[in-house]
Amino acid sequence: PPEAPSKTYDAVIVGAGISGLYQLYRLREQGLRVRLFEAGNSVGGTWYWNRYPGARVDSQSYIYQYWFSDELLQEWTWSERFPAQAEVERYLNHVADRFSLRDDIQFNTRIRSAHYDETRGRWTVTSESGESFDSQFVVMCVGGLSAPIVPPFRGHENFKGQIFHTGRWPKEGVDFAGKRVGVIGTGATGIQVIQTIAPTVGHLTVFQRTPNYAIPMRNPKYGAEDHSDFRQRYPALKARVQSTFAGFDYDFHGKPYREMAPEERNRVLEELWADGSLSMWIGGFSEVFTDAEVNEEISKFVRSKIRARINDPAVADKLVPTDHGFGTRRVPLETRYFEVYNRDNVELVDVKAERIEEITANGLRTSAREYPLDVLIFATGFDAGTGALTSIDVRGRGGKSLKESWSKQVHTTMGLQINGYPNLFTTMAPLAPAAAFCNVPTCLQQQVDWINDCIRYARAKGASTVEPTAEMETRWLTHHNEVANMTLVPKTPSWYTGANVDGKPPMLLSYIGGVGAYRQQCEEVKASGYAGFAIE
Ligand code: NA7
């Protein structure tokens, strides 16, 4: 029989998304007393909170899953190439049930603080309702895109209609029929919402600050033949995704762009375009990231594809990105997104040309005019990488606040641990590829496995603490920055660089050295008996 509930654990996990669920499975498997705390009332993480209309994965379903159980791989069937939110949420619920994970999850529990006690080498984790838990290890699986940003527009409280942020969408849904709807934001999320609700709303006003390059998604349904094909290929796919640049089953084109004749370049670009996936970006030409001239040529190719779909040239001028190069920000996939602006009930407002001044009782006022609205949707993104962690009061050795420390310089060791915070592990944290340059499940499973092995190693040694040395942390930060500065990405403001949050120190938050290379470095650390980590 299970042990009587107790408030003392070997490991506490925060967050029941993709990494938290798997971390629970692994730590429990090695015999630890584990408790997982989740703010929501069910599992799913990103796929629990982001239930806005049109929410969909931009990774192929057959690699957006867990690899640890052959039975799971054999029994689950994905309905299409890029499944919608509800299907991914169903999958994660199935996993939670299949492996009885809920037994060790406490829902409706938001963690407020995590304080390290140096004399005991243990953490005290406290919930918002004041419950406290004692644990040797803490694994923060709080997500890299889970702290929503609502810009502090004046007059927010005066609005008589409904206001939503996409990342906190109500479970019961929203009725748009006949309504005047405004959407602020045209990132990956805004694009999905806009293209989905445009045909059903009375009138849609899109408030766009920066236009984005986007690739038309090809999303075939899967049938029995596809499923049996994937099932045969799963072992190979599992190995493949761990070695590519971005954790997908495709990788960069082998041949340098500059060595190709113009016709060949064009043929390859057309092929990549027709694939209807992110391969155009992270499985195409690596020069997109490193060579400004090549980037500009590929950007031109994408711009002409976009322009061709918009009837009104003046609207096209607003929608075609010119202020940044293709792929230097996250490239969304879209489905008839640009055609939305050919509709009579859709209006595009460039808020760089007419500033948003305030939210009024009846809508939104820019420097040019007031737009009457019944519903206002913030698709304004997240405090990426750091936000979910710094919203918890994390204090390490000497009571040092993580939030304070990161307000000057974000630092981690491989995104897995932080110097000054013994026995604290993180997934999806800054300075790893996970949030920006990875098919997320690939990176999260690799991180969870690494954390699991590290904890097992420490326990086998009888060690009470694991912590990266200051030297190791500096070395990783230096390497991270060196790799980042070899690319064009840090030069373009976006959530990748923290530019979407006022006062956030500018730096590329995600490691861009490649998923394969990152994994290899993590493996080397492990093989060396965790060189660079004090295990005492
Ligand atoms: P993003 O990609 O950060 O997009 C947020 C959008 O909201 C973007 O278009 C912003 O314009 C816009 N925004 C943010 N603040 C404002 C203000 N104050 N005024 C006007 N417009 C604003 O978030 P998403 O949720 O779309 O996607 C996040 C990731 O989730 C995505 O990349 C995937 O990996 C999954 P800006 O571009 O900053 O000018």
**In this model, does residue 165 exceed pLDDT 80?**
yes
**In this model, does residue 27 exceed pLDDT 60?**
yes
State which amino acid sits at residue 446: Q
Contacts of 238 (CB under 8 A, 6+ apart): 67
Handedness of CA 493, 496, 500, 506 (dihedral sign): negative
Q: Is the CB of 330 under 6 A from ligand 1?
A: yes
Closest CA to 429 of 19, 111, 15, 144: 144
Ligand 1 mutation target, pool 209, 337, 355, 509, most atoms within 8 A of CB: 209
Local confidence band at 281 (pLDDT 50, 70, 90 cut-offs): very high
Q: What is the pLDDT of residue 2?
A: 33
Q: Is the CB of 146 under 6 A from ligand 1?
A: no
CA of 331 from ligand 1 middle (Å) equals 12
Give the number of other Cβ atoms within 10 Å of residue 517's Cβ.
Answer: 15
CA of 213 from ligand 1 middle (Å) equals 13
Q: Is the CB of 349 under 6 A from ligand 1?
A: no
Tens digit of pLDDT for each residue in 210-243? Answer: 999 999 999 999 999 999 999 999 999 999 999 9
**Given the CA of residue 184, which atom of ligand 1 is nearest to it?**
21
Closest CA to 439 of 271, 184, 239, 249: 249
CA of 38 from ligand 1 middle (Å) equals 26
**Paired sense of beta strands 105-106 and 375-378, if any:** unpaired
Local confidence band at 1 (pLDDT 50, 70, 90 cut-offs): very low
- Which amino acid residue places its CA nearest to atom 12 of ligand 1? 185
Handedness of CA 202, 207, 211, 215 (dihedral sign): negative
CA of 197 from ligand 1 middle (Å) equals 18
In angstroms and rounded to an integer, the radius of gyration of the C-alpha atoms of the chain is 23
Q: Residue 412 and residue 42: Cα distance in Å, rounded?
A: 30
Give the number of other Cβ atoms within 10 Å of residue 233's Cβ.
Answer: 13
Average pLDDT over residues 507-513: 98
Tens digit of pLDDT for each residue in 102-128? Answer: 999 999 999 999 999 999 999 999 999
Q: Is the CB of 380 under 6 A from ligand 1?
A: yes
Q: What is the pLDDT of residue 253?
A: 87
CA dist 278 to 218, 250, 369, Å?
10, 9, 38
Cα 524 → chain centroid? 26
Q: What is the pLDDT of residue 242?
A: 97
Tokens of 208: 């766009």
Q: Residue 480 and residue 473: Cα distance in Å, rounded?
A: 10
Q: Is the CB of 188 under 6 A from ligand 1?
A: yes
Helical H segments across 329-390, by residue range: 387-390
Local confidence band at 435 (pLDDT 50, 70, 90 cut-offs): confident
Local confidence band at 6 (pLDDT 50, 70, 90 cut-offs): low
- Look up the pTM and report it: 0.97
Share above pLDDT 90 across residues of the chain, in percent, rounded to a whole number: 98
Q: Residue 105 and residue 37: Cα distance in Å, rounded?
A: 6
CA of 129 from ligand 1 middle (Å) equals 32
Q: What is the pLDDT of residue 145?
A: 98
**Paired sense of beta strands 215-216 and 333-334, if any:** parallel
Average pLDDT over residues 176-180: 97
Handedness of CA 58, 61, 63, 66 (dihedral sign): positive
Average pLDDT over residues 458-477: 98
User: Are 274 and 301 contacting, i.e. CB atoms less than 8 angstroms apart?
Assistant: no
Helical H segments across 218-372, by residue range: 224-241, 262-275, 279-282, 287-290, 292-307, 313-319
Q: Residue 39 and residue 339: Cα distance in Å, rounded?
A: 38
Q: Residue 127 and residue 131: Cα distance in Å, rounded?
A: 5
CA angle 163, 201, 41 (to 5 degrees): 45
Average pLDDT over residues 259-285: 97
Average pLDDT over residues 398-423: 98
Q: Is the CB of 352 under 6 A from ligand 1?
A: no
Q: Is the CB of 192 under 6 A from ligand 1?
A: no
Q: Is the CB of 20 under 6 A from ligand 1?
A: no
Q: Residue 405 and residue 411: Cα distance in Å, rounded?
A: 9
Contacts of 245 (CB under 8 A, 6+ apart): 251, 252, 282, 283, 286, 437, 514, 515, 516
What average pLDDT does the structure give for the chain? 97
Average pLDDT over residues 63-87: 98
Residue 22 has, within 13 A of its CA and on its CB side, a CA count of: 25
